[in-house]
Structure 1
């Protein structure tokens, strides 16, 4: 099958398995060529198949630590006739590369929110993974969560609070920008978003691991968060997602007390930089802000794709000698993004953007490349006119 990208608006409808392979290989090379560090030996990553979760797994395995990893993700399986999700193939290619170097790379495909998944992972840690872990990374990104105790399905939303918000967003398919407005959230929508994207599930995982005695002394856990600048504040940090992130950060404080007392360890959030994600195009103004930010940071010599940013976080901060905590106890690798100079330049450019000049003022080309890379397209060195053997791929397991 010849696989070409299918995009509707800013929604990717398919992926390229061999493009995914090349991008994973490129990220592995970045980790190997970057500063090497000594880190944890046994790691569990929730949300391990793309974005920050995948970059974390690659850095830990190939960036000097040589970590054995367990990855949990919710992905769509490929078949002989249909292409699966990008994360399905990312899991396969990561496992293949890790096992070639003698590392354990176990993948669990399913609902990280469920008690059943926690039970499966716990049994594997106890029976086949050495009995204890050193690090839990929480990088789950989902719009839906079924409460494992009540069975109620909660759906998150991306909305401002107390006011309507509007702004331009990128349409990848048409290579245009479109105005999008979002009404303010109801109290129920705010509560549901916190339920899905807040710290409740992370807390379940940490407490279960501690109670089941599968954490080594000095155990760490980190969950990924985001703050951003003034451009996105109304719809992001001051909106429903921001409420969820605040809950996540408050949860970290509570969990840190538990883990420090019982294991002499640490729990905190890491506030990461803005990157292109599958969801970012649906946040009014976020994709425009990100594409402006990429250009401004590149001009300052500080543009960091997801892999490089994650590796710096791990090598310099979490397992390095340059931790950067703020007054709330949050790790702040996003400090480059939020310098006054970069934010001021970004705001000035953003305010001048129109439907006619946006390609000149922001780095649309780079934003689109990052977006396509998420699904294995526009990877350097891949022949996208070659036939992809889905029958062979369907025999591979993550």
Structure 2
């Protein structure tokens, strides 16, 4: 069938198998060009199909030669019905990994559930024995608690007072003001923490440890974000930020769980990038389009694959075995974004940004391209007017 992009707000409703395969190939080629490093050998990635998750899997596999298991929840393909981008990403990754002689298997299901956790444990026992790295990169707006059956939905709101600032419709380039009402009750915070906090990461590590599938000296890493002060009211000081605080605090709890096997948990604070999650946050698309402009001009821009390669090669797996962290024990791979000179220039451009000058002072085009690349569109070498086979299977999922 012929597949074109169809969007609704910050969501692209279609994805292209050839374009997503190109996206995966580009990331693999980047890692190969950087060269191999001494890293993990048996890796579980939870939330492995898009964004930082798929880039983590690519980095581990093609940078360190690791066997990888990926867990995700994606819509499979069917005749006349394209699958989700994450489904196509995972299919392309497995194909490339197997061609390179690398073990790669995937599990498609609700990672919050006990059933998927057990299915993953069984696969590790059968094929790998033990794993030495667990990447937790799960992003979802909803979670059904595996113990109580209660369904929670996260909310994106400020706390205490309304938040008003600039935002942009990245499709049209129209800059406007947006106002977001604050939370109505503590329940909004609690629900968001239940979905996006650290409890599920802890459940995973407890279950994996109890099952004996974690190797001595195992490491686990989850991803977070802090960002600049201008986004604090809606992000770090809002409901999402409360969930991220909980996630970061959970690393200490997991350290205690893994203490008898000398395991260690880290939270990596990553750079602001175009992902399916970040596109949904008001203010953030405008900030990212300005940030891209500044960082590209300084030749320090990174996408998810560049971020993950630097995280693995320069932070998690250093030659001296020491993982550099900040005073809160977090890995700061957002260090280039948060440089004083970068933030000063972004703040200046933020104050100047209007609909009329946005194309000139920002990289809104780069934002759009990155957004559509997530779904396999806007690649110059793909003929989007041509018929493509929408039915793509993931080799390890029957």
The normalised TM-score by structure 2 is 0.96
Q: Residue deviations 1:315-358, cap 9 Å, x none? A: 11111247430011111111111111111111111111112222
Alignment of 1:37-116 (within 5 A): 37-63=37-63, 65-116=64-115
Q: Structure 1 CA distance, aligned partners of 2:279 and 2:215?
A: 40
Q: Structure 1 CA distance, aligned partners of 2:92 and 2:394?
A: 13
CA contact (8 A) 2:95 2:395 kept: no
Q: Structure 1 CA distance, aligned partners of 2:78 and 2:351?
A: 46
| Offset, 1:396 | 6.2
CA contact (8 A) 2:153 2:192 kept: yes
Show the counterpart of 2:3.
3
Show the counterpart of 1:357.
357
Alignment of 1:246-265 (within 5 A): 246-259=245-258, 261-265=259-263
Show the counterpart of 2:378.
378
CA contact (8 A) 2:173 2:355 kept: no
**What is the DSSP-based 3-state SS (H/G/I as helix, E as strand, rest coil) of the residue aligned with 2:86?**
helix
1:139 to 137, 140, 143: 137
Q: Structure 2 CA distance, aligned partners of 1:394 and 1:104?
A: 17
Q: Structure 2 CA distance, aligned partners of 1:397 and 1:123?
A: 15
Q: Residue deviations 1:79-121, cap 9 Å, x none? A: 1111110000111010011011111111100100000001101
Q: Structure 2 CA distance, aligned partners of 1:179 and 1:277?
A: 22
Alignment of 1:310-321 (within 5 A): 310-321=308-319
Q: Residue deviations 1:228-249, cap 9 Å, x none? A: 1112111100011100000001
CA contact (8 A) 1:271 1:333 kept: yes
Q: Structure 2 CA distance, aligned partners of 1:44 and 1:379?
A: 30
| Offset, 1:169 | 2.9
* Higher mean C-alpha displacement, 216-225 vs 163-172: 163-172
Unmatched segments (≥5 aa) in structure 2: none
**Pairing 1:183–2:181 present:** yes
| Offset, 1:62 | 0.6
Q: CA RMSD in A?
A: 1.5
Q: Structure 1 CA distance, aligned partners of 2:247 and 2:18?
A: 36
Alignment of 1:275-290 (within 5 A): 275-290=273-288
**What is the DSSP-based 3-state SS (H/G/I as helix, E as strand, rest coil) of the residue aligned with 1:390?**
coil
Size of the aligned set, in residue pairs, is 394
Show the counterpart of 1:338.
338
Show the counterpart of 1:328.
328
* Higher mean C-alpha displacement, 212-221 vs 375-384: 375-384
Show the counterpart of 2:117.
118
Show the counterpart of 1:298.
296
* Higher mean C-alpha displacement, 321-330 vs 366-375: 321-330
CA contact (8 A) 2:90 2:394 kept: no
**Pairing 1:239–2:238 present:** yes
CA contact (8 A) 1:169 1:281 kept: no
Relative to structure 1, the CA distance from residue 101 to residue 274 in structure 2 (aligned partners, 3 Å threshold; closer, same or farther) is same
The normalised TM-score by structure 1 is 0.96
Unmatched segments (≥5 aa) in structure 1: none
**What is the DSSP-based 3-state SS (H/G/I as helix, E as strand, rest coil) of the residue aligned with 2:302?**
coil
Q: Structure 2 CA distance, aligned partners of 1:167 and 1:283?
A: 12
Q: Residue deviations 1:258-304, cap 9 Å, x none? A: 32x21112111000000001232331211100111111111111101
